Amino acid sequence: MKISRRRFILASTVAGGGLLVGYAATRPSRHRVANEQLAMGDEKFVTNFIKINPDNDITIYVLHSEIGQGIHTALAQMAADELDANWEDVTVEQAPAMDLYAASDMIKGFAEEYGVPNVLMGMVDAIAPSIAGIGNLQTTGGSASVRFTGQHGMRVAGAAAREMLIQCAANQWGVPASECTTELGHVHHNASGRSLSYGELATAAAELEPPAEPVLKDRSQFNIMGKAISRVDIPAKVDGSAQYGLDYHSDDMLYAAIQLAPVFGTKLVSVDASEALQRRGVKRVIELEDSVAVVADNYWRAKEALKLVKAEFESSEHDNVSSADIAARFDRELAESNGDEDHEQGDAEAGLEQADDVIEANYRVPYLAHAAMEPMNCTVHIHDGKADLWTSTQDPLSMKGRVASVAGLSEDDVTHHPSYCGGGFGRRLPFNWNVIDHATKIAMEFDVPVKTVFSREDDLQQDYYRPAVFSNFKGGLDANGNVTAWHNRFTGPIQVPGASHIPYAIENQSIRVVDGETHVPIAAWRSVDHSQQTFFIESFMDELAHRAGRNPYQFRMDLLREHPRHQQVLRTAAEAAGYGDNLPDGHALGLSVQESFGSICAQVAEVSIGDDGQPIVHKVTAAIDCGWAVNPDGVEAQVESGIIFGLTAALYGEISIENGRVAQNNFPDYEMVRMATSPEIEVHIVESGEALGGLGEPATPPISAAVTNAIYILTGQRIRELPISKHDLSRAQSVATV
Amino acid sequence: MATFRVNGVEHTVDVEPDMPLLWVLRDELGMTGTKFGCGIASCGACTVHVNGSAVRTCVLPVSAVEGQDITTIEGLAAAAGTSSTVGTFTPTARLSAVQQAWIDHQVPQCGYCQSGMIMAVSSLLATNPNPSDAEIDASINNVCRCGSYPRVRRAIRSIATA
């Protein structure tokens, strides 16, 4: 596909003018800054994302964090293809945490798509007075890296560098640039048979200004994009050499184990550490405002000694709060408040009054923890008025700024040492500060590196959670099974706009949000509001379909008449899954479709009920329209990953509150899908050729309703509360399908 | 004091006998390929081989490996180079067959759990070169939050030998 120039200019001008290329938004040109600050020896940055040395080795800098989504590979493919590089000559490097590598194209992309999503509003408030000022973020999130940074940054940088290299060759040969061609890292002048490598041209090219509007390739010209190229990070992940934040090691370092206030928001009152201080290897016991930490020469020693610390925390008004209290609160809000407008069209009240049949249903989903496999951790070394920082993060630049602010240093005096991330899922975003702040304060007491590590228990109990949401639906049907009204009230807050909106052609809609704030801290969790809202919407759509006596697939297809891309995706998944064909006895198919982060994903789950009264998910057939695939195998991997992440939440996921604190301790009571419970997954990529969509998140939302919709067919039991493990499905009866 | 071999190299460490092997490897020896995931032997991120068999080290006291042979993810390739234990091993390969299959099938995502996953699978295939799906399910119950399970199964299948 060709980039729409209008779209690109719009994206670029949101930031308030300047040059129209993401990598050169300010003067002096970013590649000049990169050459001054980062280039070694004969290396030359041609743009700030692309460095070339005389031997024609090409280094592509990726500003986003590799949290498992394959972003180092996908973004490098995008730049390398436009550059006409030889992929064999390309290495990928994590861009350092410098303003030079702020994620400006992502911010511009979000501004164009949403205004500013609420998950980023905190950053606007805290860092800058307006969207135009959000220059110092390096965030990996919102499934944004490929569709924004890739499309508007990496491709443009690659194309601009290629034009600069051609120009230099043309100058040297005294021929028009239009007579020159490029392939595999060389510029050719076919008429005279001359060639120069990019490495031979880079020094001269680095003196040029990048062109403002380089010409991007048509999809038919791609050599590297669109191919299932092996990921660049995987070799290091099979031999133990990949470094994660937790893996920083030095001989003189210390380790901190920490006990935080169990009830969120309370303070430390007193500490008796006398026993702990007797333990071998223990250096200090550090009291912080909301926590106490033991620092020792080995993490296990610190953690064992922490068990001997007697810490008292202040009592709080939340000490007796339980999940039942929160549920009662949410129910009351939904009963008493009409809430704030999210989306209104037509007249839903009138639509309900005119209906022959009104269905009302209450849905609820619990808080969830992120539970990334690498427990939260942060190593800080403060010395000589400077700080070094090692932490797996979805935003190195923000973390560096935070450490500087807590330690009272200038940002320029903090160095973040990049690493792979053992999962992110939103937990490692800015504003989820707890481990960063604690590690910095503890390290300020020492002159050696101190690694602060959350245990798995800390990780589950001191998270910033996926919000619990309750939702009340009313739907109206006329005598012919047409939907006369869609009426939805749900507890907030809204973290990302539009998740509760529906693609279905229903004239009368009233969607409003009521207050859902509690003392439990919340944050973005893979797919943000879509994980809750898609379960609600796609379940209630199924309820309407069955009540109307309609086939759930055809019912959706009819109401998706204004959204042919949704129809195509749902059709693809249903046909591939054999929807409507005979199934093994005791099996049923449930389906679900949702658009999020620019991609549309449909899923069909094949389910049966086991002897234990719990569902067995045999197979999930998914279709996704993400515009087109930069790396088809990467697309499939993210869809598989999103489904399993969502399935864990659907089957088992629940963080509950007792006595103001989280009741769950570790994996046994926060269970995960594992090999034995993981379904077979089949992924179909629907290439519409539309604008690129995201991939890290869009496959997570649909799975829960796909499974519960199948359970309804098998058992007649409508699951309106997750997780499914709370329900005994063994005694119910199957329902006839239409 | 405890003495044991890690990837063929003898180490003597002066630590408490109840310190779990995981923290001896990571914090005392600086070998960070073996990962901390849960601390209660539930997730398997800390799996190594003790005398060739998969063991979760976050609850394994160092005193239990006195005089034993330990292989970690860092030593798996070297181990494969000296003794053919798994799958379609080729003596000249730098990586073990399991490691190579992990690349061929693009198994890892964030990769954090994969050291333990690879060690668990290597141990399974050493004793059962052609496991059934049920045997894979029963033996490999490591947690992968990225959901690499379908690819783990595919990779195992690709190197299973009847």
> How much is the average pLDDT of A10-33?
42
pLDDT band at A69 (very low <50, low <70, confident <90, very high): very high
pLDDT above 60 (res A620): yes
A178 alpha carbon, distance to own chain's centre: 42
The answer to whether B38 contacts A645, with C-beta atoms less than 8 Å apart, is no
If you write DSSP's letter for every residue of A434-455 in order, what string do you get? HHHHHHHHHHTT-SS-EEEE--
Classify residue A698 by its DSSP letter: T
Q: Are A266 and A316 in contact (CB under 8 A)?
A: yes
Q: Rounded to an integer, what distance in angstroms lies between the CA atom of residue A455 and that of residue B38?
A: 7
Nearest CA in chain A to B98: A238
Q: Rounded to an integer, what distance in angstroms lies between the CA atom of residue A251 and that of residue A262?
A: 33
pLDDT above 60 (res A17): no
Say which residue, A572 or A7, is predicted with more confidence: A572
Give me the total of CB pairs closer than 8 Å, taking one residue from chain A and one from chain B.
182
pLDDT band at A656 (very low <50, low <70, confident <90, very high): very high
Question: How far B10 CA sits from the closest chain A CA (Å)?
Answer: 19
Which pLDDT value is given to residue A738? 54
Flag whether residue B87 sits within 8 Å of chain A, measured between CB atoms.
no
Strand pairing report for A58-62 and A50-52:
antiparallel
Flag whether residue B58 sits within 8 Å of chain A, measured between CB atoms.
no
As given in the structure block, the two tokens for residue A375 are 């427990």
Q: Rounded to an integer, what distance in angstroms lies between the CA atom of residue B92 and that of residue A704?
A: 47
Per residue in A186-225, pLDDT tens?
Answer: 999 999 999 999 999 999 999 998 887 899 999 999 999 9
Q: Rounded to an integer, what distance in angstroms lies between the CA atom of residue A103 and that of residue A105?
A: 6
Nearest CA in chain B to A297: B27
Which residues of chain B make contact with A240, given a CB cutoff of 8 A?
Answer: 32-34, 72-74, 76, 115
**C-alpha closest to that of A255 among A217, A201, A299:** A299
Per residue in A243-254, pLDDT tens?
Answer: 999 999 999 999
> How much is the average pLDDT of A407-430?
97
Q: Are A20 and A9 in contact (CB under 8 A)?
A: yes
Task: Out of A96-100, A575-579, A639-643, pick the least confident.
Answer: A96-100
Burial class (CB in 10 A: 0-12, 13-18, 19+), A567: buried
> How much is the average pLDDT of A420-449?
97
Dihedral angle of Cα A95, A58, B33, A400, to the nearest 10 degrees? -10
Flag whether residue B140 sits within 8 Å of chain A, measured between CB atoms.
yes
Which segments of chain B have a pLDDT < 70? 79-93, 162
Nearest CA in chain A to B147: A641
Supply the pTM of this predicted model: 0.94
If you write DSSP's letter for every residue of A188-233 in order, what string do you get? EETTTTEEEEHHHHHHHHTTSPPPSSPPPPPGGG-SSTTS-PPPTT
Which residues of chain A make contact with B112, given a CB cutoff of 8 A?
Answer: 244, 372-374, 420, 422-423
Q: Are B51 and B68 in contact (CB under 8 A)?
A: yes
Burial class (CB in 10 A: 0-12, 13-18, 19+), A627: buried
Closest partner residue to B149 among A371, A456, A644, by Cβ? A644
Please compute, for residue A715, the number of CA atoms within 13 A of its CA located in the half-sphere on the CB side. 22
The answer to whether B74 contacts A239, with C-beta atoms less than 8 Å apart, is yes
**C-alpha closest to that of A375 among A667, A656, A655, A641:** A667
The answer to whether A242 contacts B76, with C-beta atoms less than 8 Å apart, is no
- Give, in degrees to the nearest 5, the angle at Cα B92 between B88 and B93: 60
Question: How far A267 CA sits from the closest chain B CA (Å)?
Answer: 27
> How much is the average pLDDT of A603-610?
97
Q: Are A296 and A255 in contact (CB under 8 A)?
A: yes
| Amino acid letter for position B82 | T
Flag whether residue B63 sits within 8 Å of chain A, measured between CB atoms.
no
Which pLDDT value is given to residue B86? 36
Handedness of CA B154, B158, B159, B161 (dihedral sign): positive
pLDDT above 70 (res A22): no
Which pLDDT value is given to residue A127? 38
Say which residue, A736 or A681, is predicted with more confidence: A681
Coil vs helix vs strand at A177: helix
As given in the structure block, the two tokens for residue A88 are 């064999």
The answer to whether A675 contacts B109, with C-beta atoms less than 8 Å apart, is no
The answer to whether A675 contacts B102, with C-beta atoms less than 8 Å apart, is no
Q: Rounded to an integer, what distance in angstroms lies between the CA atom of residue A361 and that of residue A476?
A: 12
| Amino acid letter for position B98 | V
Per residue in A346-372, pLDDT tens?
Answer: 999 999 999 999 999 999 999 999 999
The answer to whether A239 contacts B77, with C-beta atoms less than 8 Å apart, is yes
- Give, in degrees to the nearest 5, the angle at Cα A713 between A708 and A717: 65
pLDDT band at A35 (very low <50, low <70, confident <90, very high): confident
Strand pairing report for A268-272 and B53-56:
unpaired
Burial class (CB in 10 A: 0-12, 13-18, 19+), A388: middle
| Amino acid letter for position A338 | N
Closest partner residue to B72 among A240, A242, A373, by Cβ? A240
Say which residue, A608 or A120, is predicted with more confidence: A608
Flag whether residue B44 sits within 8 Å of chain A, measured between CB atoms.
no
Say how many C-beta atoms besides its own lie within 10 A of residue A209's C-beta.
15
Nearest CA in chain B to A649: B145
pLDDT band at A131 (very low <50, low <70, confident <90, very high): very low
Q: Rounded to an integer, what distance in angstroms lies between the CA atom of residue A364 and that of residue A331?
A: 10
pLDDT above 50 (res A93): yes
The answer to whether A676 contacts B138, with C-beta atoms less than 8 Å apart, is yes
The answer to whether A237 contacts B141, with C-beta atoms less than 8 Å apart, is no
If you write DSSP's letter for every residue of A139-170 in order, what string do you get? ---TT-IIIIIIIIIIHHHHHHHHHHHHHHHH
Those residues whose C-beta lies under 8 Å from the C-beta of residue A40, and which sit 6 or more positions away, are: none
| Rg, C-alpha atoms of chain B | 15
Q: Rounded to an integer, what distance in angstroms lies between the CA atom of residue A146 and that of residue A155?
A: 10
Q: Are A657 and A367 in contact (CB under 8 A)?
A: yes
Quote ipTM for the complex.
0.94
Which pLDDT value is given to residue A10? 28
Those residues whose C-beta lies under 8 Å from the C-beta of residue A593, and which sit 6 or more positions away, are: A538, A556, A560, A566, A569, A570, A573, A600, A601, A602, A603, A702
The answer to whether B99 contacts A681, with C-beta atoms less than 8 Å apart, is no
> How much is the average pLDDT of A79-102?
96
Q: Mean pLDDT, chain A, as a whole number?
A: 92
Flag whether residue B111 sits within 8 Å of chain A, measured between CB atoms.
yes
Nearest CA in chain B to A375: B37
Question: How far B62 CA sits from the closest chain A CA (Å)?
Answer: 12
Question: How far B28 CA sits from the closest chain A CA (Å)?
Answer: 7
Which pLDDT value is given to residue A180? 98
Q: Are A3 and A97 in contact (CB under 8 A)?
A: no
As given in the structure block, the two tokens for residue A182 are 């490029």
> How much is the average pLDDT of A579-588?
96
Per residue in B140-156, pLDDT tens?
Answer: 999 999 999 999 999 99
Which pLDDT value is given to residue A113? 74
Those residues whose C-beta lies under 8 Å from the C-beta of residue A585, and which sit 6 or more positions away, are: none
As given in the structure block, the two tokens for residue A219 are 């999809």
Choosing among B109, B118, B132, B142, which should be mutated to test the A contact, i.e. which has the most A CBs within 10 A? B109
Q: Are A702 and A573 in contact (CB under 8 A)?
A: no
Coil vs helix vs strand at A550: coil
